[in-house]
Structure 1
Amino acid sequence: MKTVSSLPTEILHRIAQYSDQDSLRSLRLTHKRFSSISQSQLLHTVTLTTSNKSISRFTELLNDKSRAQLVRKVVLDTSKWDAYFDDGEYNGYETNDENDSDFDPDPEIVNLRKFTKLFDRLRDIPRLHSVVLRFHPVCMVNDDFGDCRQTVEFRSTIFRAFVSALEKLDTPIRELAIRDLQNVNETDPDVLASLRKILGNLRSLRLNIANEHNEGNGEYDLEYEEPHKFFPELSSIWLQPTLSNLKHLTLYSSNYFGYYPKCDLSGLHFPRLKTLALGNYAFIHDTQLDWILSHKTLQELYLDDCCILNEVAIYDKQRTYLNPQQYTALPEQYVSEKSYAAYDKRWDHYFRAFKDGLPRLRHFRYGHSQNWWVEDTTPFEDEAELTIGMHRDSYQVFCDGYGPSPYMKEMIWDHDEDRGEREALPFREDDQKALVELLDHIGQGYSMEDEEKRLIEEAKWATS
């Protein structure tokens, strides 16, 4: 009778690949073959945080060439760092002698400096393929009350050290992910030049973008200037350098984007793109659909909590996805001082367009991830796990000036007591039917389990 240890090496690797960390540690003790395979899987991804313990362990790993050779992915995680950041003290630590009795730096700053110094030692990981940089999801530009510890200065300091280290690698990384990237771009031309060089070698890019949030007054979130500067720059700074080689692109935002703030991707074409994932993206015009359809190479497409805006009413029409000429002015009794536009496409149009226009598509998910706001942030590296199906926010309107968000279910009409709120546009049977047809067409299918998950999600929303 054959034992597990006599199985082919490929199968043993697959067993280890699907085992959790505790199981891998146990497998290491069962057999010599499992020991090496489990060790390889355990060290495939390592995480460095700003804690003293993590810094020591990571340093030990780097000093052990045999173990460092097993690492393929590194996560540089600052999300738990919540001390006050002082740029002068941080930079002063570099120039002062730690043995100087007059030098008494903040221990948190010392650890942070040790943390960023280890970035340059990424070159000691010969098979490094993928790097993740993680920040805290809460971000602010003007923090008058000191509530936000990860300031713009803090994030910029970390990011510059990160970019500098990646540029020095002997072998460029192929996968880059930044979790909770604040919507403020670097302006230093040298940093941007280094970033372009790194981006040009990538095969996979994930950007989970964090936006400043006004707690209790969400309608003010889009009045900050940062998102209206960051998202229009997304193409030129982050995406243009990746065009030639990128195969995987994930763009998530903690607030809706696409329509307002404007994010126009139509001028970009990725000739090798196989996977596209969008989270919290709002569709308002056929050109957004056409942009997706222009990528005939797509094999995987994920749309997580993405909505179609069937009506929009906005004060500032100059900064939206639509051209100002595409708006109409309604009589004052309907919408005062706002510009209005409507969109007649529905999700069944989109699903049928994907079915007919993406010949290589093999995996598609439209729906809602259960991991939104776990750890108070957006889903990360979780594109293929969202619950398939139409959901509560599949259709929305944009009604400027109202909260808790201008993205809402019903249009609120000003100065019209008779009409009040328009009824929400529900998703239709045609939408779900077209979704199922698309899934059947690509050979993925739609199961009863998918429908049960969707109904459970709907029930959660209904009671929230």
Structure 2
Amino acid sequence: MTLEVKVTPGSDIPLPLEIISLICFYASKLDQLRLRLASRQLCQAATPHALKSLYLRAYGRSSENFKNIARSTTLRTFVKEVSIDTWIGPVYEHHANGSYDVPQDFLNTLPYLQYYQNITRSHMRFSEYCGYNRFDDRATWTDIEASWPFRYKILDTVSHCITGMWTKAKQIQIDQKVKGDRVLKHLVPDYNDDFPDLPTGHVMKIKEFTVSNLADYNDPNLLQSKAWGQLLHLPTLVGLKLLVTKEHYSPEYRHVICEEKYDFFQTLPSTYLTPSLASKLQVLSLFYIDFWGWFPRIDLAQVGPMPQLRILALGHYVFTHKTQTDWIASLGTGNRSGGLEELYLDDCPILYEADQYGPLTADGYPVPRTVIEGFQQHGHRSSTTTYGMRWHHVLTEWKRSMKGLKRFVMGHGNWQNANLVTKATKEREEYAHLSYDERERRFIYNSHRYFACPEPQESHIKTEVVPADKYLHGAGLLQRRAARMQYIYYSVGLCPSQWDHPYHLCSRFAKEEGWAPEDETVALDDAAYELFMEAIRDRLED
């Protein structure tokens, strides 16, 4: 039996609003926008889906559109998620000493964020090039457009908006702190007078806060900001995802003397993962563009057990000590599963040997000042230290202690490659107005957010037909054998990077073969991995 429904333009569809809303949910964003014009009923059903997420870019008409929606007392209430991207478009190449036009409209539009009082997810995206435009022995002689002051201004402005603390006077104070920056000194401020149509002191109920390319630098202005501190203490904040980029330095191997990163990681447990935040976080993702954990050192055990944590994702984190793996096993004891439920390790190797300037600390970690001085004093002698941790030790212990784990993924993510996602959006109408570079930029540097997405298919494998939308929301970790249970070597004398990562060689020529410092370790690691995964599968079947 066929039901024929006749609908004339402007008329309503004889279906419950809930059904129509469900249909609109599955429509593309452009179709949702079109449906708003079809009839009053369709407008009512489609608008919440069409405006659920906004993407504020630093070029084009994005700022104007963002302000127009903000001024609408009706439309702005539907926005639940906002992404803010500082990229100024494909016509400009960052870090090439080009003529950089300060994104005036974009920076002056940021205070309008406070109009969107119903948002629950906020995403910040910065350039991968980070640092400070200086004229000293660490000068790079190439302009850093998204400098430390530039990033501070944006983060603190956003923080004031989210926490209901923004005023024109506060914004002027923020601008005064960065007026010496070579980029921001060209900014012509144009701010409204305190937005009188908004209730004062409204705090947004942010559940998830993410930053792509956060600077590896403790900016004193940001750390002293009451608004930034209040954002990290929001009672609703249960998800924090950070991808940290490193200060640009040329030549790259001399990046070891950039001392700010050592302080950043050493204090991260107290500056970002404060006790009040750690006690309620359910999702934590920490990624660094370079290897971290050993050097620069971070003691995540200082964060504590994080009783509510369900999901942990780490990127480029280096293991050396049992205290690190014990901390992971201690997480989430107060959640519904009695322990961590999901664990993702993206290019997280075990350090088996290191050639470093010493002496090291008593527990085998480098001392930053000693390393910097040794690096600057050519001919300073280094010493070699070996580390006995192996993956079969770790996985065997986790099998015993992590009784709540339901998903464990280790492998290699798309750190600086968004090809699969970019291709997936090629045929989507809502992205048709964007060039390839624009689409790639939107999805690149998202490993800290995509870790749970479908495993990427390797380009040379043609046996599987991949659905066009499989990677529409991201590509996860490649889990071939060479990408799992990795080991790494460090030598302060290597260049361009001090890290010698066998994965890059193994993954090219022996994709399904493991590597370890000892031949017999590969088989032991494989056996421990299979037993660990079998225990997780058995747990899911019970």
- TM-superposed deviation, 1:139: 1.1
- Post-superposition CA distance 1:416-463 (Å, at most 9, x none): xxxxxxx96677133234333333322399xxxxxxxxxxxxxxxxxx
Structure 2: distance between partners of 1:404 and 1:339: 20
Aligned to 2:108: 114
Which is further off, 55-64 or 385-394?
Answer: 385-394
Structure 2 contact 59–103 (Cα < 8 Å) conserved: no
Aligned to 1:277: 313
Q: 1:188 to 1:409 in 2, by over 3 A?
A: closer
Q: 1:245 to 1:429 in 2, by over 3 A?
A: same
Structure 1: distance between partners of 2:23 and 2:112: 33
Structure 1: distance between partners of 2:35 and 2:391: 47
Aligned to 1:294: 330
Structure 1: distance between partners of 2:222 and 2:127: 26
Structure 1: distance between partners of 2:345 and 2:25: 27
Structure 2: distance between partners of 1:347 and 1:17: 44
Structure 2: distance between partners of 1:150 and 1:439: 43
1:342 matched to 2:378? The reply is no
Matching residue's letter, 1:162 = V
- Post-superposition CA distance 1:91-123 (Å, at most 9, x none): xxxxxxxxxxxxxxx97453144223323xx2x
Structure 1 contact 228–319 (Cα < 8 Å) conserved: no
Structure 1: distance between partners of 2:534 and 2:18: 31
1:225 matched to 2:219? The reply is no
Which is further off, 28-37 or 174-183?
Answer: 28-37
- TM-superposed deviation, 1:8: 9.6
Of 290, 301, 318, 1:266 maps to: 301
- TM-superposed deviation, 1:388: 2.4
Structure 2 contact 295–365 (Cα < 8 Å) conserved: no
1:381 matched to 2:449? The reply is yes
Structure 2 contact 347–483 (Cα < 8 Å) conserved: no
Aligned to 2:374: none
Aligned to 1:406: 498
- Post-superposition CA distance 1:360-400 (Å, at most 9, x none): 11121111113544457462410112122432581111111
Which is further off, 401-410 or 10-19?
Answer: 10-19
Structure 1 contact 160–191 (Cα < 8 Å) conserved: no
Structure 2 contact 412–483 (Cα < 8 Å) conserved: no
Partner of 1:236, secondary structure, is helix
Q: 1:8 to 1:306 in 2, by over 3 A?
A: farther
1:67 matched to 2:103? The reply is no
Partner of 2:122, secondary structure, is strand
Structure 2: distance between partners of 1:10 and 1:350: 50
- Post-superposition CA distance 1:154-179 (Å, at most 9, x none): 11221221222222143342211111
Partner of 2:537, secondary structure, is coil
Structure 2 contact 284–313 (Cα < 8 Å) conserved: yes
Q: 1:31 to 1:244 in 2, by over 3 A?
A: same
1:196 matched to 2:229? The reply is yes
Q: 1:324 to 1:140 in 2, by over 3 A?
A: closer
Structure 2 contact 54–82 (Cα < 8 Å) conserved: yes
Structure 2: distance between partners of 1:315 and 1:253: 23
- TM-superposed deviation, 1:35: 6.1
Matching residue's letter, 1:262 = R
Structure 1: distance between partners of 2:23 and 2:249: 46
Structure 1: distance between partners of 2:524 and 2:30: 46
- Post-superposition CA distance 1:135-156 (Å, at most 9, x none): 1111122355343211122112
Structure 1 contact 258–321 (Cα < 8 Å) conserved: no
Matching residue's letter, 2:61 = K
Q: What TM-score do you get using the length of structure 2 for normalisation?
A: 0.65
Matching residue's letter, 2:341 = Q
Percent identity for Structure 1 against Structure 2: 25
- TM-superposed deviation, 1:292: 0.3
Q: 1:260 to 1:28 in 2, by over 3 A?
A: same
Aligned to 1:157: 153
Structure 2: distance between partners of 1:354 and 1:406: 30
Structure 1 contact 48–77 (Cα < 8 Å) conserved: yes
Aligned to 1:435: 529
Matching residue's letter, 2:69 = L
Structure 1: distance between partners of 2:150 and 2:142: 13
Q: What TM-score do you get using the length of structure 1 for normalisation?
A: 0.75
1:311 matched to 2:353? The reply is yes
Aligned to 2:58: 50
Structure 1 contact 50–115 (Cα < 8 Å) conserved: no
Aligned to 1:462: none
Q: 1:219 to 1:377 in 2, by over 3 A?
A: farther
Aligned to 1:138: 129
Matches within 5 A, 1:323-338: 323=365, 337-338=381-382
- TM-superposed deviation, 1:11: 8.6
Q: 1:144 to 1:268 in 2, by over 3 A?
A: closer
Structure 2: distance between partners of 1:176 and 1:227: 22
Across the aligned residues of Structure 1 and Structure 2, the Cα RMSD in angstroms comes to 3.7
Q: 1:11 to 1:291 in 2, by over 3 A?
A: farther
- TM-superposed deviation, 1:281: 0.5
- TM-superposed deviation, 1:290: 0.8
Structure 2 contact 69–76 (Cα < 8 Å) conserved: yes
Which is further off, 341-350 or 284-293?
Answer: 341-350
- Structure 1 stretches of 5 or more lacking a match? 85-105, 326-334, 411-422, 446-464
